[in-house]
Chains A and B, each alone.
Chain A
């Protein structure tokens, strides 16, 4: 279910970029792809590490990978508007 929801969200983001009136450049797509992968990865580290009872790893993981991913997605968003 977690991966399903993340997949839906990435799909919505991708569709939004694809349907922009002015086609977006390769850099935006690159940032979007990298950001999406990092956010999904960070989320998996969060959930997996909590299941391992490794709280610090969970928050460092989501902060590091999810944070970098969020920055990439925000950059992609600003470059596309």
Chain B
């Protein structure tokens, strides 16, 4: 029962955290990720080929200028600049129509909140050092004139986790830098430098989505939910970076596809959507990666039966309006496009159609994430029965999915429900981060 052991050192001197405290009993700690990986078949991931990058800039005022400035990265690479500009115009007209006509879920107040939640998102790709310098920040270590904080790796991981939680994270996972999963240095911008050897610890932060927004997916309210977590992500990661600095250590943003490191650090498993699903928060999570030289005790990947569960479930594939999610029975090594990184046996997604749909409909869509049976609030006792059952008997996923449908879980576009959101009494950020873990 290695996963129940206290922190242990392996041969390379890396110390593991006590995995027992991380999850309920039905989440197993494992040595390798639950998907098949073949490094012989892989190519380095590329941020330029990713469909995600340009989403970060979708709502900048100078978006059109931005599209023209970098014609061959991310979404633009796949959709083409002309198509993207046309889609953008269509979306502008759609927003106007929705607000003027008061379409439920996308009314003036709904979208005003969505854009407000988006306001910090603009800063996502501002060099973070610059962002830090811009703010008034007191570096405790410098101020006190002392050496950097000293403690064991376990103690360091503990204080990082506690700080991250109090700053807004739902969960953190810790691992080490793996060159196999990093973006090329050439894609890191003009000031990019190789990571020094001591910068080897990766902290992955999870910020959960607010469930009451997520279930209103593919509307303005769902868009708002999708942006609130990025709002929180920015605050949390900004605070945590300053905490690391205040301890006397260095940090940089993890220049890699964050889901890979989320899987390695045991924050979840890769799902049919080819995104990370957390056993605690389900598919509605956002990730952020920081690299630091603060020596930390690291985590292991996890197994809660998702690979078998996803083969049987297919709810995400059924609900996708543009057929992005694979409906195949088995995962494959064959990629769907250059946005996918080969070398892993998974359900690859048709991201191009996904991004086009999101831009055109001015929503973050997220129907696949909202409908995932793991995306639950865990207040009702039934989830505390259903999740262990699904984890331990994933071959019975069809039964769980049938019950999920009978109970009526999943996204809603009921106008009454959409409007009802404004009557709900929700916690800060709409998220209960004291989710049942045991």
Binding site for B on A (CB under 8 A): 41, 44-45, 47-49, 51-54, 56-57, 60-61
Contact = CB atoms under 8 A, between A and B. Distances in A.
B381 A45 contact: yes
B408 to A, nearest CB: 3
A53 B420 CA distance: 10
Contacts of B406: 60
13 contacts: A41-B382, A44-B380, A44-B381, A47-B380, A49-B407, A51-B379, A51-B380, A52-B376, A52-B377, A53-B212, A57-B409, A60-B406, A61-B407
A54 B381 contact: no
Nearest to A47: B380
A67 to B, nearest CB: 14
A56 B407 contact: yes
Interface in B349-389: 376-377, 379-382
A48 B385 CA distance: 13
B380 A61 contact: yes
B382 A61 contact: yes
Given A53-B212, A53-B424, A45 B408 contact: no
Given A57-B407, A57-B409, A61-B407, A52 B380 contact: yes
A52 B381 contact: no
A19 B299 CA distance: 56
Contacts of B424: 53
A54 B408 contact: yes
A44 B385 CA distance: 12
Interface residues of B, number: 14
Contacts of A49: 379-380, 382, 407
Residue of A51, A52, A61 ringed by the most chain B CB atoms within 10 A: A52
List 4 A-B pairs, minimum CB-CB distance, nearest first. A48-B380, A56-B408, A57-B407, A44-B381
B438 to A, nearest CB: 17
A61 B381 CA distance: 10
B421 to A, nearest CB: 9
A69 B420 CA distance: 33
B232 to A, nearest CB: 20
Contacts of A51: 379-380
Given A41-B381, A44-B380, A61-B382, A54 B409 contact: yes
A45 B383 CA distance: 9
A51 B408 CA distance: 15
B409 to A, nearest CB: 6
Nearest to B380: A48
Interface in B412-438: 420, 424
Contacts of B377: 52
B388 to A, nearest CB: 15
Contacts of A61: 380, 382, 407
A41 B407 CA distance: 15
A45 B408 CA distance: 13
Contacts of B407: 49, 54, 56-57, 60-61
Contacts of A53: 212, 420, 424
B380 to A, nearest CB: 3
Contacts of A45: 380-382
Contacts of B409: 54, 57
Contacts of A54: 380, 407-409
A61 B404 CA distance: 11
